[in-house]
Amino acid sequence: MAHCIVPEAEAILDKEFPVLDKGFVRLVDYLGGDQRIAQAARVSYGEGTKSYREDAALIDYLWRHEHTSPFEQVVLTFHVKLPIFVARQWIRHRTARVNEISGRYSIMRDEFFLPYEDALAPQSEDNKQGRSDMPFDKQTASRIQDILKGGYLFSYERYRELIDMGLAREVARIALPLSLYTELYWQMDLHNLFRFLMLRLDSHAQREIREYAKVILEITRKVAPAATASFERYTLEAVRFSGPEVRELRRRLMKAESLEDVATKCVESSKEDQPSELSRKELERFEEKLKSGRQL
C-alpha cells in the first residue's frame, strides 16, 4: 500500500492553532487519509485506488453502515497544550497513545488557565455536572477572576518556595492547582478520534474541552475530508432514537398536521389514541432530541 500524502494536511503540519487563553493544538504527524481508508476497504477484493468521487462514496457507505475498521488505518498525532483539568477528561479516551510533560523531571511554568467572563456561570439547576447558560454579571465575573488569579499566584509561589528548599520536584508539584497548563503528545486512529469528537462536541460536554474538539475537528477535516464529512452527516448532525422513541415519533406523525407539531408537546393523546409508553423523563429527553434535530 503506497504512502499516502495529503497536501492539505502537509500545509498545516506543526502549525499552532490557539485554544483558550494560552493553549494550542498542533498536528505533528499523520498516517494516511481518505485514500488509505478506501484502499484498506478494497483490499478484500483486490481492487486498487479509484477516483476521489468513488472513494468518497465508498467512505460514506462504510461510515453509514458502521464498517469502521478501515478508518483505523488512519492515525493522527497531536501536540496539545491544555489545562490539567481538561487533560483529566481527555485521558478518559483510553484508545489513545499519550506522553505528557512530567513534573517529576521539569520545573512547571507559571501558566494557568483563566476563564473568560462569559464562561463564568452558576451551577446549572438541571445538570448536576455543568454550569448554567446564563453567565454572572460583569462585576461578579471580574471578582471571580481576581479570586482565581490570587489562588494561582499563591500556589505557584508556594511551589517555587518548596523547590528552593530542595524538596523533590515530584513532591513539590502537588501544591499546583488543576488550572495549570500541561502539554502532551496524543495519538489516535480516525475511528476512535471520531468517537472522541462525538462525545466532546456534544452540548453536554464541558465548554473548555469542546473548544479543543472544535479545533481538532477542523484539523481532521484537512487530513480526511470525505471521512469527516460522513462523520458529520451521520453522527455529529444525526439524532438516534430508541425503539420506544421511534414508536412515539410514529404516533405523533399519524396525527400531526405539520412537522412543527411533531416537535412540540401540543400533540397529546386523546382517549382513543394509544398512549405514549415513555415516562416523563424519557419524554423530556425525546423532546430534547426533536429540538436538536430542528436546530440542525
CATH 3.30.1360.170 fits 7-103+182-236, yes or no: yes
Using one digit for the tens of pLDDT, what is the confidence trace for 35-48?
999 989 988 655 55
- Pick from 68, 58, 11, 76: which is nearest to 220 by CA? 76
Using one digit for the tens of pLDDT, what is the confidence trace for 254-277?
776 655 655 565 445 444 456 678
Give the pLDDT band of residue 247 (cuts 50, 70, 90). Answer: confident
For residue 188, the cross-strand partners are: 76
Is 200 part of the annotated catalytic residue set?
Answer: yes
pLDDT value of residue 137: 94
- All residues at 6 or more sequence positions from 182 whose CB lies less than 8 Å from its CB, including other chains: 81, 82, 83, 84, 87, 100, 101
In angstroms and rounded to an integer, the radius of gyration of the C-alpha atoms of the chain is: 24
Give the pLDDT band of residue 296 (cuts 50, 70, 90). Answer: very low
* Cα–Cα distance for residue pair 281/287, rounded to 1 Å: 10
pLDDT value of residue 271: 42
CA dihedral 150, 153, 156, 160 (to 10 degrees): -130
Given the residues 200, 247, 285, 294, select the one marked as catalytic: 200
Using one digit for the tens of pLDDT, what is the confidence trace for 82-118?
999 999 999 999 899 999 999 989 999 999 999 999 9
* Cα–Cα distance for residue pair 108/111, rounded to 1 Å: 8
Give the pLDDT band of residue 204 (cuts 50, 70, 90). Answer: confident
Q: What is the mean pLDDT of the chain?
A: 88
